[in-house]
Amino acid sequence: MRTQVAIVGGGPSGLLLSHLLARAGVDSVVLEQRTREYVMGRVRAGLLEQGTVDVLRSCGLGARLDRECLTHEGTFLSCEGRQFRIDFKALTGKTVTIYGQTEIQKDLFDARDAANGVVIDEAQDVDIHDVESTAPWLTYRKDGQEYRVDADFVAGCDGFHGVSRTVIPSRLLQTYERVYPFGWLGILSPTPPVSNELIYCQHERGFALCSMRNLTLSRYYVQCDADATVEDWPDDRFWDELRRRLPEAAADRLVTGHSIEKSVAPLRSFVAEPMRFGRLFLAGDAAHIVPPTGAKGLNLAVSDIVMLSEALLEHYDEGSDAALDSYSSRALRRVWKAVRFSWWMTTILHRFPGDGGFAQRVQAAELDYLSTSIAAQTVLAENYTGMPLDPVTP
Ligand code: APR
Ligand code: PHB
């Protein structure tokens, strides 16, 4: 098989890149190791920056989103039960949008199918070759058959556990990582959300978050031990613990129900540099991971893909590789700002094992400052609603 851009990974990054390239007449092949059902079954984030929504609308993926999404003009934070609101709209003029990653994935699959896009699922043992040449090629196995794909470029959109990052020689690859000493236990419940906006709760017993997917489907998280399992957390225990960490008014309103999804997610910050090696370009979780506290994972993947698609189209349409050559540094500038913000939100909201009284007092002071300072709230709002894309610098 021959294509212009071979894309490893059929998650949001890979499919959005394939969609954006196709709209500009550049063909691609997506190699996804899992089945479509598996990819659709993953419960992931659900909060979109204004910029992400703008991108989805601009490339024809806004119709169902506009019908079904929720728009939030702010968020609540609570510290030891004392709740306050940060007004994104007033402080930045921006809002955030609630629309599940699963829904975006479905819209992307539908768009690729409608355009007869080539998305090969259950592509096993993808191997990437000759990315330092101008004719890279991939091999993969499916139904016991070996296949080859020849391409001009390879996009590594295969997530944290993917193969593409391993292609960059260790002498060139620099990784940065912070693993947090706790996890998030998340549940999805067919119950009305406890609040019309999110509530991020800092509490001596640990962090909690009240989110939602729509007005009849709630998404809740509680900080848990890093090695916790869902078996440790039957629904009753979850609801009791969540209620203890919520501000009183929210706890009183909480509607509990049976969990239709329950999972434990580890928290880590991770960045791989560079995000390019020869004709291989990394994007999304293949290059970086953020703790979900700042709701940046999906939004960062989208901004990577916007920059990468623009750069590839400049190559094909104008014969220039300037944007490809600056892709890694440009993307990393935005990545590191999101990594910093996600790390900061995680440090001020979670209980760190072994933290003494000093750290806890500093956390309480941070929240107190946020609750009273417009300047502090503006910094949070500007980062949370999404920093602008950095210009392409030569
Ligand atoms: N070969 C082919 N496909 C692979 C391989 C491989 N060796 N390894 C992983 N994949 C696939 C995975 O099955 C997955 O569908 O690559 C896809 C990567 O998708 P994501 O992990 O969702 O990463 P990305 O598309 O960058 O989206 C980032 O997803 O994980 C969340 O929080 C993250 O919301 C963010 C978003
Ligand atoms: C979610 O709805 O899954 C969600 C929202 C905000 C976050 C993390 C997760 O910071």
Q: What is the pLDDT of residues 301-327, one digit of tens each?
A: 999 999 999 999 999 999 999 999 999
Q: Which ligand is nearest to the CA of 261?
A: 2
Q: Which two tokens stand for residue 100?
A: 């599940």
Gap between the Cα atoms of 189 and 194, Å rounded: 12
Gap between the Cα atoms of 376 and 381, Å rounded: 9
Active site annotation includes 192: no
Give the pTM: 0.97
Active site annotation includes 258: no
Residues with CB under 6 A from ligand 1: 8-14, 31-34, 39, 44-45, 101, 123, 126, 157-159, 161-163, 284-285, 297-298, 301
Q: Which atom of ligand 2 is nearest to the CA of 219?
A: 2
Distances (CA, A) of 393 to 328, 330, 370, 389: 11, 7, 34, 12
Specify burial of residue 388 (Cβ count, 10 A radius: 0-12, 13-18, 19+).
Answer: exposed
For ligand 2, the distance from its centroid to the CA atom of residue 210, given in whole angstroms, is 8
Active site annotation includes 176: no
Q: Which ligand is nearest to the CA of 37?
A: 1
Gap between the Cα atoms of 219 and 171, Å rounded: 42
Q: Which ligand is nearest to the CA of 157?
A: 1
Q: Which two tokens stand for residue 344?
A: 């900061």
Contact 360, 304 (CB under 8 A): no
Say what the pLDDT of residue 6 is.
Answer: 98
Gap between the Cα atoms of 141 and 155, Å rounded: 19
**Which residues of the chain are under the pLDDT cut of 70?**
390-394
For ligand 2, the distance from its centroid to the CA atom of residue 317, given in whole angstroms, is 38
For ligand 2, the distance from its centroid to the CA atom of residue 58, given in whole angstroms, is 24
**Given 99, 200, 220, 221, which residue is catalytic?**
200
Ligand 2, atom 6: closest residue by C-alpha: 295
Say what the pLDDT of residue 393 is.
Answer: 58
